[in-house]
């Protein structure tokens, strides 16, 4: 179809969450509380890492970027969802929808890459402890972080540009609470074979490489520990890697459970549930996981709390 047909759709309608009208108030309060917890919790992690010199290490440097990413990842979709629930105005401009999709893809990709980088950091720390400071030098950490942001921007821009070339006709209703790429592709009246090919190849290769890198890092870590097994060494490794492993299982386990072990006749609901887990639940749990399971973070939190009491006096 001709390019000018794209202008026939100036806005989209977001159907939101599949909940009853009488439950809107309760869910609004729930998701508002979860969003505020996500933002404040991740900002607290950033503050602790910034203020405590003991946390100025590569692991916490990457964690600070993960926390920063999670704040914006949730902020891309949740505020608009809350506004729609409160005002009952389901519309979103075409440009706003495309922008929302771009930033959603950017931050979901960035989270993914940062988890891989953090796994590599743990691999070097445990498998090559004598060379850790030489390998994980400041320049490499900055390069890995910059590369993560660059690749995430390219990934999001690629899919955004491919979507922008498509035409949208009469149907502008998105059965979701945000502008999801898959939902938008179902609305277009253009040929989406190129988009689907890129999603399958680029997305598949990216997911495979990410999982392979994380699994490879922890297989090497496990093999290193088992060479000279000791309770003290195993406990120290679990203390160091436990938080990251828990987040990885939460991140990928949610997708595996919903997309591979749920019934096919409930696809729309499972897509929404998966997105809620990604955009609301996982970013909210990250601060609790990294603070409650991490001794250094708990010490820094205690110091900050005591300083707060002193300043209050």
Q: How confident is the model at residue 163 (pLDDT cuts 50, 70, 90)?
A: very high
| pLDDT beyond 80 at 32 | yes
Find out whether 29 and 86 touch, Cβ atoms under 8 Å: no
The reported pTM is: 0.87
Task: Please give the torsion angle defined by the CA atoms of residues 90, 94, 100 and 104, in that order, rounded to the nearest 10 degrees.
Answer: 110
Q: Which of 1-15, 26-40, 202-216, 231-245 has the lowest mean pLDDT?
A: 1-15
How confident is the model at residue 269, as a pLDDT? 72
How confident is the model at residue 148, as a pLDDT? 96
Give the tens place of pLDDT for each residue, 197-255.
998 888 888 888 998 999 999 898 888 888 877 777 777 777 677 778 888 887 777 76
| pLDDT beyond 50 at 1 | no
Which residue has tokens 């390219």? 154
Interhelix angle 231-260/204-227, rounded to 10 degrees, is 160
Question: What is the strand order of the sheet 11-14 is part of?
Answer: 91-93, 11-14, 173-174
Give the tens place of pLDDT for each residue, 107-128.
999 999 999 999 999 999 888 8
The verdict on domain 11-312 having CATH code 3.40.640.10 is no
Q: Which of 7-16, 191-200, 207-216 has the lowest mean pLDDT?
A: 7-16
Mean of per-residue pLDDT scores for the chain: 84
**Domains of the chain, residue spans:** 11-312
| pLDDT beyond 60 at 306 | yes
How confident is the model at residue 256, as a pLDDT? 66
- Integer Cα distance of 128 and 217 in angstroms: 12
Q: How confident is the model at residue 5 (pLDDT cuts 50, 70, 90)?
A: very low
Q: How confident is the model at residue 162 (pLDDT cuts 50, 70, 90)?
A: very high
Q: Average pLDDT for residues 173-189, to the nearest whole number?
A: 88
- Integer Cα distance of 182 and 101 in angstroms: 10
How confident is the model at residue 310, as a pLDDT? 45
Question: Counting Cβ atoms within 10 Å, is residue 58 exposed (0-12), middle (13-18) or buried (19+)?
Answer: buried
């Amino acid at each position: 179809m001709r390019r000018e047909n794209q202008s026939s759709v100036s806005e989209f309608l977001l159907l939101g969450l599949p909940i009853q009208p009488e439950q809107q108030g309760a869910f609004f309060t729930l998701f508002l509380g979860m969003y505020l917890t996500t933002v404040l919790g991740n900002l607290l992690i950033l503050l602790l890492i910034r203020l405590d010199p003991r946390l100025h290490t590569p692991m916490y440097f990457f964690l600070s970027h993960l926390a920063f990413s999670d704040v914006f990842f949730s902020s891309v979709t949740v505020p608009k969802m809350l506004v729609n629930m409160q005002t009952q105005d389901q519309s979103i401009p075409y440009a706003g929808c495309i922008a929302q999709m771009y930033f959603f893809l950017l931050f979901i990709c960035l989270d993914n890459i940062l988890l891989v980088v953090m796994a590599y950091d743990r691999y070097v720390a445990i498998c090559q402890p004598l060379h850790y400071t030489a390998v994980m030098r400041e320049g490499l950490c900055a390069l890995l972080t910059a590369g993560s942001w660059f690749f995430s921007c390219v990934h999001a821009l690629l899919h955004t540009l491919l979507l922008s070339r498509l035409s949208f006709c009469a149907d502008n209703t998105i059965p979701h609470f945000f502008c999801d790429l898959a939902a938008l592709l179902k609305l277009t009246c253009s040929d989406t074979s190129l988009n689907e090919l890129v999603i399958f190849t680029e997305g598949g290769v990216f997911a495979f490489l990410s999982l392979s890198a994380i699994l490879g890092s922890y297989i090497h870590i496990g093999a290193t520990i088992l060479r000279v097994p000791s309770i003290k060494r195993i406990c120290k490794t679990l203390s160091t890697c436990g938080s990251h492993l828990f987040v990885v299982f939460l991140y990928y386990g949610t997708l595996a459970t919903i997309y591979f072990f749920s019934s096919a006749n409930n696809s729309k609901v499972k897509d929404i549930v998966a997105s809620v887990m990604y955009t609301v639940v996982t970013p909210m749990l990250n601060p609790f996981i990294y603070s409650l399971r991490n001794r250094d973070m708990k010490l820094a939190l205690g110091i900050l709390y005591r300083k707060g009491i002193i300043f209050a006096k």
